[in-house]
Structure 1
Amino acid sequence: MSSTTLSGPAPRFRLPGFWTCVTIAIAAILAIFLILPITSVFVISFFDARTGEFGLSNYVQVLTRRFYTTALWNTVIIGTLSMIGASLIGIPLAFCTSRFRIKGRAIVATFAVLVLVSPPFIGAYAWIMLFGANGAVTNFFGNFGIQIPSVYGIPGIVAVFSLKFFPYIYLMTESALSTINKSYEDAAENLGCNAFQRFYKVTLPLVFPAVSTGAIICFVLAIADFGTPAILGRGVQTLSTIAYAQYTSEMGGTPTMAVTISMLMIAISMAALLLQRHIMSTRRYASALTNLPVKKSLPMGRSVLVHAFCYGVVFLAMLPSFTVLYTSFLATSGPVFSGGFGLDSYARILRDSPQAIMNSFTFALIAVAAISIASGLISFIVVRRDNAVSGTLDLLLMVPYLIPGIVMAIGFVATFRHPPFDITGTALIIILILFIRRLPYGVRSTTSILRQIKPSIEEAAVNLGASPAKTFATVTVPLMMPGLIVGAMMSFITAINELSSTLILYTARTITMPVLIYVQVINGEFGTAAALSSLLMVSTGICVFIVFWLSDRKEAAFV
């Protein structure tokens, strides 16, 4: 007797959904262009430059030789002092604009943002024109026999960084000061605390998360910056300048010492971040968003002092930009200023440097286009698909904030210089590094606006039969368009001003405006450097205007 076995239809292979495919693609992109370069830097740092043996010899050399340890201490000192200097400027300014009626407060905030988005090496170059050995201010006081302090060395670098990075602390702290419950301050006043005691013991601890976040950003940016120490250092070596020098000296071989120094820079950044998080974890800072502070008018005398302080700070910070703009219109004869005004410098850059101008805009625009697409997709995954993968993606996007540009560039060279992925010396490698380094700006902007959009709108489209891809393209993207544009503008501002990574990767065919400005300053071509810098600042200013126009919180969009 035979028996038959009934079996159902064979199970069909089910294709992964749209968002699963997108998640896999995004994870692959981050793995290739973010994790792999950093891993390459990490692995290479353990191979001895001379013998090729695996070990800690490079780290021993960096941590024991005086040349490297001096640069290490210089880096930490500059980063720490710059952070303190920025705090001493940003916190009082934030307190004044958040607690007192300041006429023209919008101007103060706008100037602060313009300072924030202009490249710091332009400021360094401008301070040389003002306070250098033959600077305008130096010569003016020299006519009266007065010798002013030198702008070169650690003091000059710290001063430039303090005036450059204080807006991070100012903008974050002002936002926090505007939302704390003033009942705590009132209680302290009733207990007999004077104004300083109230601020130091009550107000400052309440806004410590904002202050510390801004301070950490200042510290990380200061230790990662290459252009300012290179221009103002005059013999003062930092880890970033040594890493670049080591890379150029090891060009053609494996840049072991350069990547070892790079890993040390990453370690310092991570240590600073972990220290901040540890301090914050030991206390609680939450307060009810009620009984918010009210701005009050000051008596005439105090009002004049407060207004003078606010306007004086932002004017001093903007002085380099004004100087660069003014210098760009001075008549020149070759590299020498010949007296009077003219458009000679602009004519020279249009005649001699069209490639750098075209490259800067082309590379930045292509990178921003890719950032806009990726940030829209990533923000949807992070906000709408709350799982371990989306959380990991969100965490990974913090990494570009912590990795100095010169470190990432060395990682790109180490990773993508071998066939079949040899793209060193091409425009593609610059576009890719701009994309991966500036992607967090786009994601942050789109994520914040997507959190304000109710998912029920998208769910309604799905219930009506629209596919996930169509729903995203026709419903979600139009709703998050302001965030996409703001993110694109922020990405463009930072991408077109990028120096530290492009300085490692550029060739004669792929040179960009920031690199050319740096080269021109080093060569003493201040007229053309000023014209190129002015072009960058105008482009940046237009983007700032667009962001202000589209963003509800205006200057808060930049932090």
Structure 2
Amino acid sequence: MKSKFKLDVWGYITIALLGAYAIFLLYPMLNLLRRSVYGPDGVFTLGYFSKFFGKKYYFGTLLNSLKVTLCTTVTTLLLGAPLAYFFTMYKIRGNGVLRILIILSSMSAPFIGAYSWILLMGRSGVVTTFLKDTFNIQGINIYGFVGILVVLTLQLYPLVFLYVSGALKNIDQSLMEASLNLGCSGVKRFFSLIIPLVMPTILASSLLVFMRALADFGTPMLIGEGYRTFPVLIYNEFMGEVSGDDGFAAAISIIAIIITALIFMAQKHASNKLAFTMNALHPIEPKELKGVRGVLIHLYSYLVVGLSIVPQCYVIYTSFLKTEGLVFKDGYWLGSYRTAFSKMGSSIVNTFVIAGSALVVIILMAVLIAYLAVRRRNAATNTMDLISMMPYIIPGSVIGIAMLICFNRPPLIISGTFLIMIVALVIRRLPYTIRSSVAILQQIPITIEEASISLGTSKMKTFFAITIPMMANGIVSGAILSWVTMITELSTAIILYTGKTKTLTVSIYTEVIRGNYGVAAALSTVLTSLTALSILIFMRISKSKDITM
């Protein structure tokens, strides 16, 4: 129910939040748009866009990105949807452990997966060397399009799995029994009944996979080997020492935003047309698996999960091996960790400082925005809620470029500081905590707050003493998910960082580029450990085995 805007304490908070978004999101994005259509001489021009679409080199990059992104979306659906179906319909041995591994693989930084596959199946990888020395078989070419597709698929299929698993829980057992009575079972039931029922969820998970794959920077940069993608092109055009062109980079960024916005609107339109409500009074009861079918389903489940988690395990293993640059030698040591903590220790500290500071701001803003969006609905709060979700469809590298261009000159110079890193993380990751806070607040009856106010308690005291404690689980769950995505953030950090603000992900990336695989493996292990610990804390607090983003 909408209400009129009032200039009370919540009205001032609304104005302050809108002002913050205007300064740190709308202004940089509008400035980016202006930069894309005005040349160095200040004259309006569409030359940058003409350059992009007029040269096969640049337009081919767009086609490359769309190709790898669409293929990744399809392959993640082919892996994730059946896996979710098997986990829901049948009793899979080791179900709990497998779910944790799936969640962990989904939360790790994608570029670590690329680095892992280089160690395994690169030109000097352990699998490549074994096949060549033992069977004289040349290794599979893991670089280029194939490598990007493999890494992104194995890193993003858990998103489809988690979304579809949640939707399957809302299907009533009676529907399954009715289909069985009509002679519809197995594969036929999966395609004729299950897929149509969970189609809105499949579209939602496909959108998230598409956005993540399109915006990924580290994977194509590490394993692409010349396979040009949008984020890499934007980075090279903006950061290039010789050929760098801010205007052209801005134009490419605008094109990226238009593409993601169109995909987002198409997905929303399709979801709205297919949307319906399901309520499972009798949730699906998993059945025992027997015979050949049981063996095949278990084999599929273990193989998919194993392929997604083994590369990370191998990175952890190599972090304890003796190394000299690109070469791993016989014997074990802790030298890589000593080097990592002595030379890169500041990046670990920076990660905690930057992500921790951003998390505090995110929690505060998310709680306020969620309350305003649910309890104080009006034109101003609806506008703020809409603006807060804009970063969901804007690639991280684009946000980084927009902020660096905007805040590298008066009236507000914060480039190269911790503040710009914190602001970028807040803008990018705030939507996760807002959504979880809104979801939990919608379940809290407003009559509880009204009763407190009727007893003489002020609105703000009621908010902090009554409402926030009741929202605690949703706030903490969203905050932990935001934390995990922040400590694994690369696409924005790689553009905004300086020597003093270098984060853990940037250090890992730069060490891989330099060929210091031992140190990179040690830092990756630290990051993986932080991610795993954060996930376990989330599952303990939320008392849930499922994570959605």
Per the shorter chain, which TM-score range?
A: over 0.9
State the SS of the aligned residue for 1:180. coil
State the SS of the aligned residue for 1:480. helix
Q: Does the 8 A contact of 2:397 with 2:492 survive in 1? A: yes
Cα distance, 1:403 vs structure 2: 0.7
Find the partner of 1:315 among 306, 326, 332.
306
Q: Does the 8 A contact of 2:351 with 2:504 survive in 1? A: yes
Cα distance in 2 between the residues matched to 1:185 and 1:60:
55
What's the % identity of the aligned pairs? Answer: 37
Task: Say whether residues 1:139 and 2:129 are aligned partners.
Answer: yes
CA 1:35–1:142: 2 relative to 1, 3 Å: same
Cα distance in 2 between the residues matched to 1:438 and 1:173:
23
Instruction: Tell me whether 291-300 or 55-64 shows the greater mean CA deviation.
Output: 291-300
Cα distance, 1:232 vs structure 2: 0.7
For residue 271 of structure 1, what is the amino acid of its counterpart?
L
State the partner residue of 2:204.
Answer: 213
Cα distance, 1:533 vs structure 2: 0.8
For residue 64 of structure 2, what is the amino acid of its counterpart?
N
Cα distance in 2 between the residues matched to 1:472 and 1:252:
53
Cα distance in 1 between the residues matched to 2:293 and 2:280:
29
Structure 1: segments with no counterpart, 5+ residues? 1-14
* Structure with max Cα Rg: 1
TM (norm. structure 2) is 0.95
Cα distance in 1 between the residues matched to 2:504 and 2:164:
33
1:262-291: per-residue Cα shift (whole Å, max 9, x none)?
Answer: 111112211211222232344354345345
TM (norm. structure 1) is 0.93
Cα distance, 1:338 vs structure 2: 3.0
State the partner residue of 2:87.
Answer: 97
For residue 427 of structure 2, what is the amino acid of its counterpart?
I
Cα distance in 1 between the residues matched to 2:182 and 2:294:
27
Cα distance in 2 between the residues matched to 1:70 and 1:204:
34
Task: Say whether residues 1:74 and 2:59 are aligned partners.
Answer: no
Q: How does 1:479-494 map onto structure 2 within 5 Å?
A: 479-494=470-485
Task: Say whether residues 1:30 and 2:30 are aligned partners.
Answer: no
Q: Does the 8 A contact of 1:356 with 1:511 survive in 2? A: yes
For residue 51 of structure 2, what is the amino acid of its counterpart?
Q
State the partner residue of 1:357.
Answer: 348
CA 1:153–1:300: 2 relative to 1, 3 Å: same
Q: Does the 8 A contact of 2:104 with 2:535 survive in 1? A: yes
State the partner residue of 1:280.
Answer: 271
Task: Say whether residues 1:475 and 2:470 are aligned partners.
Answer: no
State the SS of the aligned residue for 2:409. coil
Instruction: Tell me whether 26-35 or 513-522 shows the greater mean CA deviation.
Output: 26-35
State the partner residue of 1:388.
Answer: 379
Q: How does 1:330-409 map onto structure 2 within 5 Å?
A: 330-333=321-324, 336-409=327-400
State the SS of the aligned residue for 1:508. coil
Q: Does the 8 A contact of 2:237 with 2:244 survive in 1? A: no
1:325-362: per-residue Cα shift (whole Å, max 9, x none)?
Answer: 11111123466433211101000011111221111111
Cα distance in 2 between the residues matched to 1:142 and 1:342:
28
* Coordinate RMSD, CA, aligned: 1.9
State the partner residue of 1:424.
Answer: 415
Instruction: Tell me whether 403-412 or 20-29 shows the greater mean CA deviation.
Output: 20-29
Find the partner of 1:411 among 402, 413, 431.
402
State the partner residue of 1:463.
Answer: 454
Find the partner of 2:12 among 21, 25, 32.
21
Cα distance in 1 between the residues matched to 2:98 and 2:531:
17
1:226-252: per-residue Cα shift (whole Å, max 9, x none)?
Answer: 000000111111111010000013799
Q: Does the 8 A contact of 2:488 with 2:505 survive in 1? A: yes
Find the partner of 2:231 among 228, 240, 263.
240
Instruction: Tell me whether 537-546 or 471-480 shows the greater mean CA deviation.
Output: 471-480
State the partner residue of 1:446.
Answer: 437
Q: How does 1:163-312 map onto structure 2 within 5 Å?
A: 163-193=154-184, 195-249=186-240, 255-312=246-303
1:103-158: per-residue Cα shift (whole Å, max 9, x none)?
Answer: 22121211111011110000000000000000000011111111232110001101
Instruction: Tell me whether 448-457 or 494-503 shows the greater mean CA deviation.
Output: 448-457
Cα distance, 1:398 vs structure 2: 2.0
Q: Does the 8 A contact of 1:185 with 1:203 survive in 2? A: no
Cα distance in 1 between the residues matched to 2:53 and 2:181:
53
Cα distance in 1 between the residues matched to 2:110 and 2:183:
44
State the partner residue of 1:47.
Answer: 38
Cα distance, 1:164 vs structure 2: 0.4
Cα distance, 1:380 vs structure 2: 1.0
For residue 169 of structure 2, what is the amino acid of its counterpart?
S
Find the partner of 2:109 among 92, 95, 119.
119
CA 1:191–1:228: 2 relative to 1, 3 Å: same
Q: Does the 8 A contact of 2:169 with 2:280 survive in 1? A: no
1:14-64: per-residue Cα shift (whole Å, max 9, x none)?
Answer: x93211111111111112112222222122111235x54212221111112
1:73-129: per-residue Cα shift (whole Å, max 9, x none)?
Answer: 000001000101111110010000011112221212111110111100000000000
Q: Does the 8 A contact of 2:452 with 2:462 survive in 1? A: yes
Cα distance in 2 between the residues matched to 1:122 and 1:337:
18
State the SS of the aligned residue for 1:347. helix
For residue 98 of structure 1, what is the amino acid of its counterpart?
T
State the partner residue of 2:3.
Answer: none
Cα distance, 1:70 vs structure 2: 1.0
Task: Say whether residues 1:83 and 2:56 are aligned partners.
Answer: no
State the partner residue of 2:53.
Answer: 63
State the SS of the aligned residue for 1:554. coil
CA 1:252–1:28: 2 relative to 1, 3 Å: farther
Cα distance in 2 between the residues matched to 1:193 and 1:32:
57
Q: Does the 8 A contact of 1:408 with 1:501 survive in 2? A: yes
Q: Does the 8 A contact of 1:90 with 1:166 survive in 2? A: yes
Task: Say whether residues 1:513 and 2:477 are aligned partners.
Answer: no
Cα distance in 2 between the residues matched to 1:334 and 1:345:
11
Q: Does the 8 A contact of 1:247 with 1:258 survive in 2? A: yes
For residue 425 of structure 2, what is the amino acid of its counterpart?
L
Instruction: Tell me whether 123-132 or 263-272 shows the greater mean CA deviation.
Output: 263-272
Cα distance, 1:182 vs structure 2: 4.7
Instruction: Tell me whether 488-497 or 343-352 shows the greater mean CA deviation.
Output: 488-497
